[in-house]
Amino acid sequence: MKILTYEKIDSTNDEAKRLAKQGVPEWTVVVADRQTKGRGRLGRRWHSDSGGLYLSVILRPPLRTGELFPLTLLMAVATVRTIRGLFNLEAMVKWPNDIVFGGKKLGGVLVETDRQAVIAGIGLNVNNDHFPEEIQKETISLKTILGSKSDPGKIVEVFVQEAKKLYQHFLKKGSDLLIEEWQLFSDLSHPWVKVSTPAKTYEGRILRLGSKGELIIKIADGKIKKFYSGEVTKVR
């Protein structure tokens, strides 16, 4: 495994894609202290000031496109394991790709594919604690929680160990254990949610995750519906 570190990059996911094109091995990891074009889910901007952790892993899983979604959950579980293990903090996951603490967003996962590889990008608010006004209320960093700075290098080291273990198990045995652990890390104390998709918003109760990582909801009229993407908010 090789870790390439940059003080500044456009996006670690973009750099990982460029490296993948050159044929670098699996588990090459790109880490930056800041990004000028950090990307979030749904084409959103990922605020990427210095002090945050911006990391991308190059993978070449023997999977079809439709089988890749559990990798997002896998990266979230590896991140939560890392935070819990290193800092003893109750970090949680929020479907589909958020890392949260006390209901606030601590990080996120963005898995992208191109012909050469699958790129798993993770953004984690570590020592950065200034966020734009519009996301300030719902965002938090490790520095704010802990009251002191953390070593991003150590976080990367433990994260890669955890992600590798989960990945090897997932490829050999499938997603069952991963989905189970993800559910243990998810806050289902208020399982009534709204799921917004571009077409429609549904309201119902979260039942569980399916084996592909899809969210299974019992919607108000009693029907069971599976979601492969969407925005989830608690309703009561």
Residue with tokens 């559910």: 183
13 binds ligand BTN, rule: CB under 6 A: yes
Residue 39 or residue 204: which is nearer to ligand BTN going by CB? 39
Note the residue count of the chain.
Answer: 236
- Residue among 51, 70, 108, 230 that touches ligand BTN (CB under 6 A): 108
Residue 58 or residue 109: which is nearer to ligand BTN going by CB? 109
Tokens of 3: 């870790």
20: buried, middle or exposed (CB in 10 Å: 19+, 13-18, 0-12)? buried
Which residues have a Cβ under 8 Å from the Cβ of 29 and sit 6 or more positions away? 1, 2, 3, 4, 55, 56, 57, 58, 156, 160
What 3-state class would DSSP assign to 163? helix
Near ligand BTN by CB under 6 A, which window of 19-27, 118-126, 157-165, 172-180?
A: 118-126
CA–CA distance, 174 with 67 (Å, rounded to integer): 10
216: buried, middle or exposed (CB in 10 Å: 19+, 13-18, 0-12)? middle
127 binds ligand BTN, rule: CB under 6 A: no
82 binds ligand BTN, rule: CB under 6 A: no
79 binds ligand BTN, rule: CB under 6 A: no
Query: Which string of x and - marks every residue 39-68 that binds ligand BTN (by CB under 6 A)?
Result: xxx--x-x-------xxx------------
Phi, psi of 35 (to 5 degrees): -125, 145
28 binds ligand BTN, rule: CB under 6 A: no
72 binds ligand BTN, rule: CB under 6 A: no
CA–CA distance, 152 with 224 (Å, rounded to integer): 42
Near ligand BTN by CB under 6 A, which window of 10-18, 20-28, 164-172, 199-207?
A: 10-18
Q: How far is the CB of 9 from ligand BTN (least distance, A)?
A: 9
Q: How far is the CB of 43 from ligand BTN (least distance, A)?
A: 9
Tokens of 39: 């990307």
- Residue among 11, 72, 79, 128 that touches ligand BTN (CB under 6 A): 11
Q: How far is the CB of 83 from ligand BTN (least distance, A)?
A: 15
Binding site for ligand BTN (CB under 6 A): 11-13, 35, 38-41, 44, 46, 54-56, 97-98, 108-110, 121-123
